[in-house]
Amino acid sequence: GAGTFKELFLCLLSAILLVLSFPRSNFEFFAWFGFTPLFFAIWNKSKAKAFLLFYFTGIIFWLITIYWLVHVTLVGLIVLVLYLALYFGISGFIISHFLGLTSYFRLFLIPSIWVILEYLRSYLFTGFGWALLGYSQYLNLPIIQIADIAGVWGVSFLVMMINVAVYKVLSIGYSVLSNEQKAKIIFKYCILPAALLLLSLSYGFYNLHNTQYTTRNTLKVSVIQGNISQELKWQEYSESFILDRYIKISQEASLDKPDLIIWPEAAAPGFLFERQDSWIFQHIFNLARDLKTNLLIGTVVKENSDYFNSALLIDSDGKIIKRYDKLRLVPFGEYIPLKKIFGFLETVVPIGDFTKGREYTIFSLPTKFSVLICFEDLFPELSRRFVKKGADFLVNITNDAWFKQTSAAYQHLCTCVFRAV
């Protein structure tokens, strides 16, 4: 009936507001009240109904947010959307209990529930910490500075707390209380979120304007992008074309006299230590020598029967100084978790069979830095470990060409901004 239509409309409205707060739309302001329609939809509903309404919202949100996965696997996209939407559903199931309480503590409880479920999603079953609520604020630099204390989840908590306060203020407006009573309750529910928001902004502005940048070991870096379509990536006939493109762009970049030129993930169109590909790497070593510049390149390394997704630092003499092997591999992309159970997926999805690295590598030029390959920037503890080992800055090399010209790369960038913070 009309009631069901209204509920579904409110769910759809929430899903669209949340989608628009992420790249490429970047209306990050929408995230601060995006859940409010959904809260109205589950008002006075049973826990089961709240679960379903949140679950429906989650399906719409994830379908529009990670639609780009269809370029790799339609089945994988559907399974992942249905799985990720469960976190919405579970949060709705629990939140519906607290939404009906008059307790002031729901200002803390509802954001806490959301953040706990985001955290679980980031690590459970190998983890998928994509499009966390806090990431929507990646362009809002003063707000996200609290991430150096509380991580992206601290920002998610703050955004969700404001959502609860907005919902409360709007629901008070519909009540039969006197204006004086309404004003009292509104003040009570706004004072704490406003104070936390003000504190976060103050901390953010302080951090942004009081960072002391040291200039003792500055490094001039050129980052280049070959823009190679995934269809060409591993075709034998493309090897020369890909190599020539990267050499040409590197030569152009070298005119600025950089100390380091960076190529993307797996940019070298061959496997290091594979005899038939040795000519490719000879060209790359010669390039470093000719340009008298250090090169950081992404490549696949073959050692015995193991394959590694790696970053190589090549010095201006054309010698490999150091190598980093990717520590966190993409599940169902670079390896199959629980292969005995999920082995059949090899026939459904293009899955590599990589071996994970073992070492937290620090490169030195003499400024120290570390490399995160592809989705490793989703895991804050990797960045933290590298920095604790002495890295002054972090490099993320990635190949998002799988997803063509979609919002995937822009959404990926959000995570990098938080790792920098």
| 274 is a catalytic site residue | no
Active-site choice (265, 334, 414, 416): 265
How far does the chain reach from its first CA to its final CA, in angstroms? 49
- CA geometry: angle 29, 34, 36, nearest 5 deg: 130
Nearest to 219 by CA among 404, 19, 365, 415: 365
Handedness of CA 233, 417, 20, 1 (dihedral sign): positive
| 326 is a catalytic site residue | yes
**The pair of three-digit structure tokens given for residue 336, joined into one six-digit string:** 């199959």
Q: What are phi and psi of 7, to 5 degrees?
A: -60, -45
Amino acid at position 287, single letter: L
Q: Residues 311-316: contacts with CB within 8 Å, 24+ apart?
A: 311/371, 311/373, 311/395, 311/397, 312/272, 313/363, 313/365, 314/284, 314/285, 314/288, 315/288, 316/288, 316/289, 316/291, 316/292
Q: Are 376 and 328 in contact (CB under 8 A)?
A: yes
Q: Are 397 and 263 in contact (CB under 8 A)?
A: yes
User: 12: Cβ–Cβ under 8 A, 6 or more apart, which residues?
Assistant: 57, 60
Assign 321 to helix, strand or coil.
strand
Active-site choice (7, 11, 168, 326): 326
Active-site choice (374, 376, 414, 416): 374
Q: Are 318 and 289 in contact (CB under 8 A)?
A: yes
CA 419, CA 421: separation in Å to the nearest integer? 5
Nearest to 367 by CA among 215, 253, 255: 215
| 376 is a catalytic site residue | no
Alpha helices in 21-146, H assignment, sequence order: 36-42, 47-65, 74-99, 106-123, 141-144
CA 362, CA 230: separation in Å to the nearest integer? 30
Q: What are phi and psi of 367, to 5 degrees?
A: -60, 135
CA 127, CA 244: separation in Å to the nearest integer? 37
User: 341: Cβ–Cβ under 8 A, 6 or more apart, which residues?
Assistant: none
Q: Which residues are the active-site residues?
A: 265, 326, 374
